[in-house]
Amino acid sequence: MMRVAAIAFETQEGMVVTDAQSRILRVNEAFTRVTGYSAEEAVGKTPALLKSGRHDDSFYQDMWNTLQAQGRWQGEIWNRRKSGEIYPEWLSISAVQDSEGRTTHFVSSFLDITQRKEAEEQIQFLAYYDPLTHLPNRRLLNERLRKVLASSGRHQRYGALLFIDIDNFKTLNDTMGHAIGDSLLIQVAQRLRLSVRAGDSVARLGGDEFVVLLEDLSPNIHEAIAQIRQAAQHMLEMLGEPYALGEISHHCTASIGAVPFRDAGESIEGLLKSADMAMYKAKESGKNAMRFFDPAMQTEIEQRAALERDLRQALLLGEFTLYLQPQVDRHGRRLGAEALIRWQHPQRGLILPGEFISLAEDTRLILPIGQWVLSEACRLLAAWRHDPALAGQSLAVNVSAVQFRDSAFLDNVAQALAESGASPELLKLEITESVLLENTGEAITRMRALKDELGVGLSLDDFGTGYSSLSYLKQLPLDQVKLDRSFVRDIDSNPNDAAIADAVIALGRAFKLTVIAEGVENEHQRDALLARGCDAFQGYFFGRPVSSDAFAASKAPDA
């Protein structure tokens, strides 16, 4: 015990040694620094001294059961300092046993993770909410809309998307200044919140564009349209009331475009586009009005059906190809590339994935398409081994959430590696944070199998735009996190984007993960990222996506 205590007092972590009855025997200086309790105040008490009240009895009972069964417990817990402040900590408890296997002591160590939690919350807020109005932004709206689409399809009840634009807002902004314009937008956001039901959502897309998502409307289309019309009229009335802007009273109106939906297969972008078109019809009709989407405009539905037919044909005829975009280190030396699928359509020419991946996921065609990408990437890696200029370079492959959750995914990756003979450590699978949302435990298990059994590299794509929970990030067997391009675009001019980049890079460093920034298009962005300690880069500044032959023929910066 003296040896354990001596080690405890040398660490920067808070340490507590108790007897078998959980009475505190020793604490170290870090314990006092974090909790505010001196050794004299703590010794003789139990750790219940620190209870925050945030956890119920079952939480502590589960902790005790795990300790008795396994001899150790670790996890996130909320405790209370002497000052009364409640704080989060990462706690590890180990049982110490004598030669006969009886528990004689417990040794606990903990870290105050307040700053990490604050960083996590900052990332979450900036990624999901508009900083001016505090309304959900496009990302969060898309997530909610995806869930409402699924729910409407299951329960066969209509929902609706309302696209709202403030009439003549640009004139106000240009004549009275951005501060007055911002004040108006904040008040518009407040009025829209008050105009909808508790279960509905209000989001700001940017500028003077807002979206309202109505849920759980009638299963009858005529009744649903009446509900939408009534809700929109209420919004127009509230938005038409005068606004106090400094010393002046300002009057303005809004135009609203509405589109009802009940099909889980609807495209989010398609719905937004339809509502946007309907909003412009409202403006054309004289403004301060609401218009429904005209089905006559619905050419997108026909195009979608045609695209699905062509997509199935493309798989049969081998019309897909891989383009590679270089990834470089902070000195500009090429590390490898990201493999990006392209569709060589016989009539339309080269089609980018943004036009067909969403449809492929909805129809599960992403499974055979994704397997083709994996196999082709592994084939390239195997061929590169014989080229001194390419040997040792890695290939990153995007993995769809649908593909990752497929029960055969692990076997498919193993098959692609085995058939090609590629080195698994040079294959890097890029997984988005959305795969963690549905079943985190299963996702972690699958990622560990990919890492431990197959030896492939793992990268968390679009980091900062999704879940980003630190408690789970610690458990993920990652090699890399990828800073999303949306935070890189204005990093040298937008404080919010710069703050997120700082937080993501700091978190990557804390967890000993490489951080690669995507979408780097100019020298200013690169320099801003370099100054923040970013490890690697990808974007047009370093090279556009090119065919695999062109990539192999190009001279790498370090070659």
Q: What is the pLDDT of residues 251-274, one digit of tens each?
A: 999 999 999 998 777 889 989 999
Q: Has residue 559 got a pLDDT over 50?
A: no
Global pTM reads 0.52
Strand pairing partners for 112?
Answer: 89
251: its two tokens: 């009057």
**Secondary structure element (H or E) that encloses residue 15, with its range:** strand 14-19
Q: Pinpoint the alpha helices (H) of 199-267.
A: 221-239
Q: Tell me, what's the pLDDT at 263?
A: 79
Beta-strand runs (E) in 279-426? 290-292, 320-329, 334-345, 349-351, 394-399
Cβ atoms within 10 Å, residue 389: 15
Rg of the chain in Å (alpha carbons): 28
Distance of CA 184 to the CA centre of its chain: 30
- Residue 408 CA to residue 367 CA, distance in Å, equals 10
Contact 53, 80 (CB under 8 A): yes
pLDDT digits (tens, 9 = 90+) for 524-541: 999 999 999 999 999 999
**Secondary structure element (H or E) that encloses residue 254, with its range:** strand 254-261
Contact 499, 126 (CB under 8 A): yes
Q: Is 296 exposed, middle or buried (0-12, 13-18, 19+ CB in 10 A)?
A: exposed
**Secondary structure element (H or E) that encloses residue 109, with its range:** strand 103-112
Q: Is 143 exposed, middle or buried (0-12, 13-18, 19+ CB in 10 A)?
A: middle
Cβ atoms within 10 Å, residue 239: 22
Q: What Cα–Cα distance (Å) separates residue 453 from each residue in 243, 348, 411, 428, 431?
A: 63, 42, 11, 14, 18
End-to-end CA distance of the chain: 58
Q: Which residues of 495-510 are buried (b: 16+ CB within 10 A; e: fewer)?
A: ebbbbbbbbbbbbbee
DSSP label at residue 458: E
pLDDT digits (tens, 9 = 90+) for 426-471: 999 999 877 776 677 888 899 999 999 999 999 998 776 655 556 6
Residue 536 in 3-state DSSP?
Answer: strand
pLDDT digits (tens, 9 = 90+) for 499-518: 989 988 998 888 889 999 99
522 pLDDT band, cuts 50/70/90, is: very high
**Chain position carrying tokens 């699958």:** 446
Contacts of 56 (CB under 8 A, 6+ apart): none
pLDDT digits (tens, 9 = 90+) for 4-59: 545 545 667 899 999 999 999 999 999 999 999 999 999 999 999 999 999 998 99
Domains present along the chain, CATH in parentheses: 2-112 (3.30.450.20), 121-297 (3.30.70.270), 304-552 (3.20.20.450)
DSSP label at residue 303: H
- Higher confidence at residue 182 or residue 556? 182
pLDDT digits (tens, 9 = 90+) for 122-174: 788 888 899 899 999 999 999 999 999 988 878 889 999 999 999 999 888 88
Contact 156, 264 (CB under 8 A): no
Residue 58 in 3-state DSSP?
Answer: helix
Phi, psi of 427, deg, nearest 5: -95, 125
Cβ atoms within 10 Å, residue 401: 18
Nearest CA among 136, 14, 139 for reference residue 81: 14
- How is the beta sheet containing 209-214 ordered, strand by strand? 201-206, 209-214, 159-166, 254-261, 290-292
204 pLDDT band, cuts 50/70/90, is: very high
Q: Tell me, what's the pLDDT at 248?
A: 87
17: its two tokens: 């040694």
Contact 16, 100 (CB under 8 A): no
Residue 78 in 3-state DSSP?
Answer: strand
Strands 457-463 and 480-483: parallel
- Residue 89 CA to residue 386 CA, distance in Å, equals 51
Contacts of 309 (CB under 8 A, 6+ apart): none
Cα–Cα–Cα angle for 175, 180, 181, rounded to 5 degrees: 80
53: its two tokens: 């009240």
Q: Is 382 left (phi over 0), alpha (psi -120 to 50) or beta?
A: alpha
- Residue 77 CA to residue 329 CA, distance in Å, equals 38
